Amino acid sequence: MKYFASIDQGTTSTRFIVFNEKGNVVENHQQELKQYLPNEVSVEHDPVEIWQSVKNCIEEVDKRFPINQISSIGITNQRETTLAWSKSTGEPLHNAIVWQDTRTQDICDELKQIKELKDEFSKTGLPIATYFSLSKILWLLRNVNEVQNAKSDNDLCFGTIDSWILYKLTGKHVTDVTNASRTLMMDLKNLNWNDKILDTLGIPKDCMPEIKPSMCNFGTNEVILKNIPIAAVLGDQQASLFGQNCLTSGDVKNTYGTGCFALINTGTEIVHSKNGLLSTVAFQKEGNEPQYALEGSVSIAGAAVQWLRDNLNIINDSSEVEKLAMSVKDNGDIYFVPAFSGLFSPHWDESARGVLVGLTRFSNKSHIARAVLESVAYQSFELLESMEKDTGILFESVKVDGGMVDNNLLMQFQSDIFDKKVITQEINEITALGAGAASYLYLNDLPLESMSDFITQSKSWNPNMDTKQRIHYISKWNKAISKAKQWI
């Protein structure tokens, strides 16, 4: 039996998962990450804690399953989250600024006014937004003395979380095309850093990691990894797309995690959205052309359930939300828009704020819980609707994954609002599987189509709502969205 593994570094936790050649989980360990919230607009992670969590997870798995039996390792990670560290010491110069952080709105407003960069930004496939890495780098350069000093001393590294982990494991300052495509600094066509953007904004190119294909030999670590090669790196949503076997143009998936992310494979064609979606790299195997994707990104999905638990204390555990929501027959005409960090796709309205509308004396915590779950389905619907408009493809079904697919109420409502079949896979660790399997396929020189050998369909939900009711619900959601946009 052959084995492969994945380092899965997410927004709320880190995991190390070992799979066998059939794609089954053999062993795993998970460690939660602390979220640092210095103020109402800032979200940070401790890079040292991230690195330590990676080591801890690998060491804990090694106690139960000798990792020297593993043939290859893939890395998948939270994207856009950005940090700076010293080339000479390898120590971070500030906490990592998380993708949800919105402190850089003023910088984004400033970037929008630089006319000579307008065409250059369009080459990245991304809108100017706090979501992406560029404004985070500029904030670090302008506000952190240690970063400024390191720049002066030519001792500065910038990177996303994949770069940080790779640097600590291999000593190499590299990234892959999927993560680089989320920075607002990479040209989608030539897969290189955009020199004009870097030069205009005073970002030294030698501070940026080398961009490599998603599937290639990234190196290894003799002590921690026992010389097992790292043969794939994919941003988490691209890893999910790969793990769902969405390898050809027109394949679509939706992931329910901290946020919600829908991607459609567009093949070797870069499709520029007219409906608020992002153009991004799906994956690239060394020696092959890159595959591209259109992506819709929602910042708050599962995080809204955590908000019910941690901020409102309506539930004690996230698993309780479905039972609470099912205790009422419907949402009681309550709609919740979780625009805690503004609205991402397809609206891109940084001034929007979360709203809970339609409250009456009849309303109770069960209605609120149901509205929170339904908000995830409505946001996902907006993403799929935009994809159909951009591609001209009408989807019959959507593959889904992530922690919230265990919520039967949400999945059935999602199918009803999509008016499409919703399909899950037998294994729910799709993101980790995607990165790990990519490393295995590359190292063994197997065709990428072999990804289908690792997954089996598990459950499906079919739409069971009449058209009139569905249109009514979507109309009310659109009214709630307009209220969120009118906050400022």
pLDDT at 91: 96
The neighbouring-strand residues paired with 55 are none
> Which pair of tokens denotes residue 259?
């946020």
What average pLDDT does this structure show over 415-425? 92
pLDDT(414) > 70: yes
Q: Tell me the pairing of strands 291-298 and 260-267.
A: antiparallel
| Burial zone of 486 (CB within 10 Å; 0-12 exposed, 13-18 middle, 19+ buried) | exposed
Name the pLDDT band for 82 (thresholds 50, 70, 90): very high
Q: Cβ distance 201 to 121 under 8 Å?
A: no
Q: Which helix (H) or strand (E) holds 459?
A: strand 457-461
pLDDT at 287: 93
* 3-state secondary structure (DSSP) of residue 75: strand
- Cα 404 versus chain centre, distance: 15
pLDDT(365) > 70: yes
pLDDT at 23: 86
Q: Cβ distance 256 to 101 under 8 Å?
A: no
- Cα 365 versus chain centre, distance: 30
pLDDT(457) > 70: no
How far apart CA 44 and CA 139 sit, in angstroms, is 13
Q: Specify the DSSP class assigned to residue 342.
A: B
> In terms of pLDDT, which residue wins out, 302 or 419?
419
Lowest mean pLDDT among 67-76, 165-174, 396-405, 473-482: 396-405
pLDDT at 225: 87
CA atoms within 13 A on the CB side of 87: 17
Name the pLDDT band for 29 (thresholds 50, 70, 90): very high
What average pLDDT does this structure show over 66-87? 94
Share of the chain above pLDDT 70, in %: 99
Mean per-residue pLDDT of the chain: 92
Lowest mean pLDDT among 268-272, 314-318, 396-400, 417-421: 314-318
Q: Cβ distance 96 to 161 under 8 Å?
A: yes
In the chain, the domains with their CATH numbers are: 3-234 (3.30.420.40)
First to last CA, the chain: 59
Q: Cβ distance 463 to 34 under 8 Å?
A: no
pLDDT at 406: 87
pLDDT at 395: 87
pLDDT(428) > 80: no
> Which pair of tokens denotes residue 151?
């720049």
How far apart CA 353 and CA 488 sit, in angstroms, is 8
- State the pTM of this model: 0.88
pLDDT at 297: 84
pLDDT at 411: 93
Q: Cβ distance 212 to 138 under 8 Å?
A: no
How far apart CA 296 and CA 279 sit, in angstroms, is 9
Q: Tell me the pairing of strands 70-77 and 3-9.
A: parallel
The per-residue pLDDT for range 175-195, each reduced to its tens digit, is 999 999 999 999 999 999 999
How far apart CA 52 and CA 202 sit, in angstroms, is 32
Q: Which residue has the tokens 């250059």?
A: 120
12 residue type, one letter: T
pLDDT at 166: 97
pLDDT(173) > 90: yes
Name the pLDDT band for 488 (thresholds 50, 70, 90): low
Q: Cβ distance 157 to 87 under 8 Å?
A: yes
The per-residue pLDDT for range 199-239, each reduced to its tens digit, is 999 999 999 999 999 999 999 998 888 899 999 999 999 99
pLDDT(348) > 90: no
ω into residue 346 within 30 of 0, thus cis? yes
- Cα 168 versus chain centre, distance: 22
pLDDT at 76: 97
Per-residue three-class SS string for 306-317 = HHHHHCCCCCCC
pLDDT at 292: 96
Name the pLDDT band for 262 (thresholds 50, 70, 90): very high
pLDDT(242) > 80: yes
Evaluated on CA atoms 463, 469, 473, 475, the torsion sign reads positive
